[in-house]
Each structure stands twice: as structure tokens, then as C-alpha cells.
Structure 1
Amino acid sequence: MKERFFKLNKWNILVENDKAKEAAIYNLYNGDIIELDEDWAKVIHYLQTGELISKVDHPKTPEIIQTLSDKSIGKCYDKLIYEEKTRKGMLLPLKGIQSPPPVINRFFIQLPTNCNLNCSFCNSLNSIPCLTCSNEKSEKNVEHFDYRRFLPRILDLKPINLILHGGNPFLLGNKLNNLVNQCKYLSESTQIWVVTHWKHLFSKIKENKRNLTENLNCYIVIPASNFNEDEDNSKKFCYTLDYVKNRLQSFVPVIVLDSDNNIERLREEIMKFNPQGLYVSHIYRKSNFREFNNSHFVRVNVETFWHNFYHHPCLYGTLALTSNGKILPCPHMKKEILADVMNDSEPFERIFGDREIDKYWNLNLGKIEKCKECIFRYGCFECRAVELKLTNDLLGKFLCSKVGH
């Protein structure tokens, strides 16, 4: 009988944890992450190291090979072969030569505005802190801190998304529209977003419909508690979504689970208005920390896998400017200050020229002690700001159902 070998094809990557005898196959073609039991992990491991099929002495070997072949995940060969796994971009990150221009996916700008809604969750830790509204006391106000002086330097970086957040942005009145319009003038390709509570948006629409610029996209924060048998709120809310659907470029609702209300009806109502997406943010409490999971598995294509191989799944491509001029790697990493635009003449030279940003952008999950052996680390999305808040350690990990608490 002819000796043969078996290899996973170029779209499928085996990730192993030898200590725990765990493994998973990442299918970069259809996005599946296939968790393997101990027997499958053992057999596939030996086959991938180049063992002849006949030398892999396990009763499940024929079944495993047949199943993977039928699903086009792997193939038998008459000789040992090597096939480079599918990837996009360069084999390794550039080192020793001039770096390419940074790609900024999200640049957050905190506005010096307050909020009078007094929501119960406002100062609570939640699972999507960067896309929920806040009411931090600003050290500056808009009269003393003119963002327009810094916009050209920010928009020279051509960020894909510029996100304005903090308090009630519409308190700025025409200054908000001027800010948005200047951003579009300086970088036409940049998408401008505002994070706001739905009640602020409703008030703005009722006050003056024409005074809401069409260049805007909105993350609309929606506390679940606002819809506890409150028909008046429901009518106002639907009026708001109907308006933004036809007026703004796009909108993404962010439901905050600040009550035990069932949100399925709310979710169904929202989807009628065709939002660009929808997020659900959980509130962290000591009583629910076991349900508050900060590790979310996503479908993994070629870009996602190699992005997470080298970089942090969320921090990479993110910068934030606070209302007092500090540049942070994330709007909720308050103590991780990269530069101060009020005192540094060339803040971005310091951040990118000296590569200080790499500490955060290149913080792939393999550098985090509790994550480094996890077979799901290349398909995991987490908020590092939440972990930093709970552990006081940039490399800490507390909230994960896979590694335990």
C-alpha cells in the first residue's frame, strides 16, 4: 500500500495548546473556528508535523482524515508537501526600515459638554464603554479649548472614523455643526460620528430639525429601562429613529442593559429602521461578574486572523483626545497618556516616530498571560480598558469564561 501524508489546506490553520491538550482549526474561508476534542487534536497534530498516515496509531485516524477531506479542510498527498497559509499583506511586520503611515481606524475626541439626564449607569463600568455616553466633569470648556486648532493635525492622519463623545454634544449648538463640517472639509473620506443619548437627539430634532448636519453619523445610546411599559418614550424613540434614518448618513443603536427588561421587542422595533448595526452593552456589577464576559468570539477571515496574530483586536488603530488635551490609546484608558497637545509641539511625532503606540497597538492576546495559550485568542474580541479598570494591570485578565475568574 502506498505511503501517504495528510495536510490541512491553505485556508485552515491549526492552533494548539499543548499543556491543556486542546486545539482548534481556524477556517479562514468561511469564518468557522472548529474546537477539537483531545483525540482529534492529537491525530491532527501528528499529521501536521509530517508523520505518515500509517504511523499515526489511533483508531480514529481514518475517520478524521475522511471527515476533513469530505469538508475540503484537508487533503491526502503522495509526498510530504509544504503550502504557505493564506494571508494578506506582508509575511512579517516591517522592521529596520521606514514604517508605513499609521492607519487610524477610530480617533475619539471628547467634547467639553455635560449631561443632565442622570442615568443610573452613567458612572458604571459597561462592556462597550467607548460607544456609550458619559458625563465626566471637564476641566476645560469650549470657549477655552478650541478643537479646530488641532483638527488639521488629526485629520492629516486620514482617520477612517472620527468619533465625538462626552456629555450632550448638542449643547455646542452651531459649534458642533461647524466642527463636523470642518472635519469633512479637511478629510472628505473620514466618517464623522457622534455618541449621544437618544433623548438628547430627540430634543435636538424637536428644537430645530434643520440644524442637524447631514454629514453626521450617530451612535445612539438607548437604556433598556427607558422602555418599561412607557408608551410615550416608545413614540418619541420611534420618531427619533425615523428622522435619523432619513436625515443622517447612518446610525448604530447601542442598547444599555441597565434593567432586567427583555430587550427582544426593543431590538425588533429598532431593526425596522435599518440601522447600520446594533450593539448591546452590559453593566458590570459584582453580583453578575460571572455573566459579564469580556471575551467575544467572532467569525475569522484572513484579515481578522492575521490582524489578531500581530495586534490587539480593539486597540490597534485607535487614538483618543480628551477634553483637556491628552492623547490616549483608548478614550477609557485615562492614565495611559501618550502625549499632551497643549504642551507637546509635535505630539504625533512622539507617538509614531518613537513608536510609543506599539505598546498598545501590538498588544496581541498572546502577550497576555491568561490568554497566551488560549486556542481562541485569534478569534477573540475584548475590551482592554475594562480589564485595566478591574485589574489595574495593562496585561491583566479577569473577565473570561474560558480562563475562569
Structure 2
Amino acid sequence: MLPDQDGQNTGGGGRGGGGGASEDPSTALFREYLRLKTVHPEPDYDAALGFLGRISEELGLPMKKVEVCPGRVVTILTWTGTNPALKSILLNSHTDVVPVYQEHWKYDAFAAVKDAEGNIYGRGSQDMKSVTIQYIEAVRHLKAAGKTFPRTIHLMFVPDEEVGGQKGMETFIKHPEFQKLNVGFALDEGLANPSEAFTVFYGERNPWWVTVRCPGSPGHGSRFVENTAAEKLRRVINLFLDFRERERQRLNMSECFTLGDVTTVNMTMVNGGVAYNVIPAEMDVSFDIRIPPTVNLQEFEEQIKAWCKEAGDDITYDFAQKGMNQKTTSTEDSDPWWSAFSSTCKSMNMTLKKEIFPAATDSRFIRAVGLPAIGFSPINRTPILLHDHNEFISESVFLKGIHIYETLIPALASVPALSTEA
């Protein structure tokens, strides 16, 4: 039996049927959402759509569903502002989560267990179902208080972020329905911070997923065949991983650098061969490379070409993913969006730590079309556990995040008309 799955007891009560009668309704709703198995490789998106449909009715906000690819629906709840001609505020989140290795978890990863310390365990608790519910509950509280704001607010829920976003945000950003949203500024996911500070992301590294193909002379496994694919493969691996080590040292030797400031290279797949006694005619190796906005991408690809040439004849490479967008969002005090965001955080005595996001989120697609986007999850005093075993967030941190959004959303939705909107 799992301990204390409902915080106080196993009875009903609480909006959404999440926990015990004394549990905060926002916590109960969060735990209900965590229990939806929107997990790859077969996420239950229908369950998420049903959940969001109910939220739409509860909030009294119209819901629009846009099928961007077969079985992939973007859902939008809209709170129309008093001056809808102004650019809108987008609160973006994704509904999908990554797989789990259940044998490494303390509890069922989809049971949303709350332990005696108030920590809520579940896949997506940090990435990013907590943020989704914090958006929803902040809007619920603001509407219940009778608040209105000049700018329209869109809550958007997208699929497939965890598998690259090709059937989610990347496609939707080019859709006429996205243009109709008239977005001026977007918030999206960030990362937890183990300290008292909150991390804010104004840009991202570009993901390059590259496969290097090494042809060679085949032959019998008993002979010293010259110019084999394996020899070339070894040289390719050494060149890529030598660069990886140089970047690792650069990160470790500088107090100024964060992970988002250096290029990471990781070998993720090796393929080739048909039998123990047959030297293969080709072997492939794949790398996951993440490149910060400060790196010249054309020059970096030239470096890849040079490594392939150095490793041997006829070596080729191709990309499964090749991000080329290096746009970042302004964090200058003169920028009206950043000023509203940062000054509001300061008013709540929050310390912000600005960084380049080390991985990839849907924010990159938003920035690519020239829109400002900040990656921010109001999760501090919490270890970074996205995609990790035993992912959790404490109830107190989760509830504090709702209050943070209750303060941030009005500030952003009340930014005065910009010169471009006059």
C-alpha cells in the first residue's frame, strides 16, 4: 500500500476529486492532472482534452481546439481583455510527459503520491504539469476576484513538446489560428532552482542531432582488413568527445559560465554490423549536440565537416534535427515586457537568475517568429528533476507559485500600449 496518497486521508472532497477533504483544492486539481497518463510513446491526449474541457467550463472561458496533425490537438482557453486590440499574453504549457523507469521510483509515477513532508511525486510534477495548474488556478482566483485587464490572456496547452514539438508548437506557430491570437509576449516552462533564487530563461541552445556514417572495407572477421568502418568510427568518436571534454573543462573552470553557455556533445547511438565474423561495410554513430546562441553555427558545421574529413574518406553526416534560431528575448530594463516581469518579481522579494536554457522547449519556436518569450517555472528550493526518477515538487512551493502568477499575470496583462500598438 502506498503511504498517505491523499495527504490526510483517502476520502473524497476537494475540487477535481484529488485528495482528502482538508486538502487545498488547487493541490487536489494538480494531483488529478498528474494522474492522467499523457506519457510517451502513447500519451492519452483524450484524457487531457476532457480535463481541459471541464476547466474551460469551470472558468467560464471559451475553449478552442486546433488539430495541427492527426491526433495532435492544441487547446486554447481565452480570457478576453478590455482592449482586445492590444497584443495578448500567452501562457503556454505542454500536456505530454516523458516515460518512466518505474522500478527506480519510490511510488507509482502516476499515482500523484503526497508524502508526510508534503512532497508530491509524479511524472510531470516539475515538467510541466505544476505550471499548467498554476496558470489555471491563478486565472481562477483573479476571475473570482472580479479582476479585468486591458490585454487578452490565452492559456495554451500543446502536445508533443517532449518529442521535439514537430506535431505541436512547431506546426501550430505557422497556423492561421496562431496568428489570430495576436500574441505580444509569452511565458513558458523553465527549471527548478535548488537555491532561494528563481531561474529565468531568455534564450535556448540549439539542438543538433547528427548521425555520422562511416563506410569501410568489409571482410572476414579473422583478417586485418585495412580501412574498416570501425577504424573510422573510432576516430570520429574521439574527435567529437575530445571537443566535449574541452567544453566540459571550460564550464568547470569558469564561475561565469552555466550549462547553457557552453556546447555539450553526447554520443547517444551506435549502429552497424550483421554478424560476429563479418567486418561491416558501414557503421553509424549519433550525437546529441546543444549549441548556445553565442556560437557561429556555420563555423560549427564547418568544424563537423573537418572532423569527418580527418577521420577518413567518404564519411558523411546528416541531421535528424538542426535548430538554427539564435534569437533571444531582451532582458534590458528599458524593455516593457521584461520591466513588467522583473519589477513584479522584485516586488515579491524574488531573486532572479538569468540564463540560457540548456535543453529545448517550445519557447524556441515562439522566439523564432520574433516574439519575446521567457522560460519560467516558479519552483525554488527544489532539486532539478525533470526527466529524472522520483520527480517531485513540494505542496508549499506549488501553492506559492500560484500566488506568484496571480501577481505576474496582472502586471503583464496591464503593460501600457506600446508604440507599435498605437
Which structure is higher in RCO with an 8 Å CA cutoff and minimum separation 6?
2
Q: Structure 2 length normalisation: TM-score? A: 0.25
- Which structure shows the higher strand fraction? 2
Return the TM-score normalized by structure 1: 0.26
